[in-house]
Amino acid sequence: MSASNVEGMRRHSARAGYYVSVHVMVSPQRWCIKRLCARARDGIIRVDTGMEVASVKQYSCFDILGPIMIGPSSSHTAGAARLGRVARVISGSTPKKVTFYLHGSFAATHRGHGTDKALLAGVLGMLPDDELLPCSFEEAQKLGVTYQLIPRDLGQDVHPNTVLIELESSGGEITRITGSSTGAGKIRIVALDGLPVDFSGDYHTLVTLHEDKPGVVAGVTQELARAGVNIAYMRVFRDQRGKNACMVIESDGSFPDDTRKRIETITGVRRAVVLEPV
């Protein structure tokens, strides 16, 4: 897409993360709006054309008046709780031990914003409006969950509010999730067990960890078709050919649990988890 046919670019504010909508002139009579994932860095907008979709997500009134949350900061508290919760769901259970590697603004101001408490609360399964959230340290102690918070530079290319969450299950299994809180309680998960991914958790989301080989994606979509699930967005990520891959499928409706279980039995699929939007 050249600059000349992109007109009327309009930022949709930090509420929508780094989304921009671009009015693209197909012909002088026909315009289409594309929602693109772009990252504005130093004035340069990197456009990921893989995210092109048919229509722009409509803002809801409840994006404006909302979220209902425990204060004090939508990005440092509510977003942090959502990141913790996504990590918990993907790891599959309450961890035995969790380590939060805090980057940028999260490292600098996490105490005053309760980011530490919110992250841990999310990992314990609390939602951003749970009034127990300020006491998540005590709750963790009751549940025998140990936790650490470690400031760490996660690189120049990540959002200032980013955390790497490392969860260790009672069986010793390690799950690593990196996510950013992009403002107004919105989040983006940017890495999963080292694989670069990109999803928001705003939709009903199915995440599979699988082997990069033919037939896996078809097997998953077949199961979804059988269950009558309409796919809104779908992306596949991998680190290298034939190795670990990850598929993120977002839908307006929920994914039935028996479908998720059947997907887990597909050859090549290691794990399938479902995230409900919060």
Partner 1 sequence: MALINSARDLLELARAHNTSLGKVVALAEAESQQRALDDVVEQMAVSLEVMKSAAAQGILHPRRSVGGLIGGEASMLTELRDSGKAISGAVMSRAMAIALAVSEVNASMGKIVAAPTAGACGILPGALLAAAEALDAPDTKMLDALFAASGIGLVIAKNATLSGAEGGCQAECGAATSMAAAACVELLDGTPEQCVEAAALALKNELGLVCDPIAGLVEVPCAKRNAVKVVEAIACADMARAGIKSVIPFDEIVDAMYKIGREMPVTLKETALGGLAVTPTGSRLALEIHDAQPSVECPPPVFGENKQGAR
Using CB under 8 A as the binding rule, whether residue 109 contacts partner 1 is answered as yes
Give the number of other CB atoms < 10 A from CB of residue 60: 9
Q: Which is nearer to partner 1, 63 or 198 (CB)?
A: 63
Stretch that binds partner 1, among 83-91, 139-147, 214-222, 259-267 (CB under 8 A): 139-147
Q: How far is the CB of 136 from partner 1 (least distance, A)?
A: 7
Q: Which residue has the tokens 């996504």?
A: 86
Do 16 and 186 contact (CB within 8 A), yes or no? yes
Do 167 and 91 contact (CB within 8 A), yes or no? yes
Using CB under 8 A as the binding rule, whether residue 78 contacts partner 1 is answered as yes
Among 138, 153, 173, 258, binds partner 1 (CB under 8 A): 138
Stretch that binds partner 1, among 66-74, 86-94, 241-249, 257-265 (CB under 8 A): 66-74
Using CB under 8 A as the binding rule, whether residue 185 contacts partner 1 is answered as yes
Q: What backbone torsions phi and psi does residue 135 show, to the nearest 5 degrees? A: -110, 30
Q: Which is nearer to partner 1, 178 or 208 (CB)?
A: 178
Among 1, 32, 68, 143, binds partner 1 (CB under 8 A): 68
Structure tokens at 84: 């913790």
| Separation CA 229–CA 1 (nearest Å) | 32
Using CB under 8 A as the binding rule, whether residue 66 contacts partner 1 is answered as yes
Q: What backbone torsions phi and psi does residue 173 show, to the nearest 5 degrees? A: -75, 135
Number of chain residues interacting with partner 1 (CB under 8 A): 54
Query: Does residue 256 come out as left (phi exceeding 0), alpha (psi in the -120 to 50 range) or beta?
Result: beta
| Separation CA 239–CA 212 (nearest Å) | 9
Residue ranges that bind partner 1, judged by CB under 8 A: 10-15, 58-75, 77-78, 97, 105, 108-109, 111-114, 116-117, 129, 131, 133-138, 140-141, 146-150, 183-185
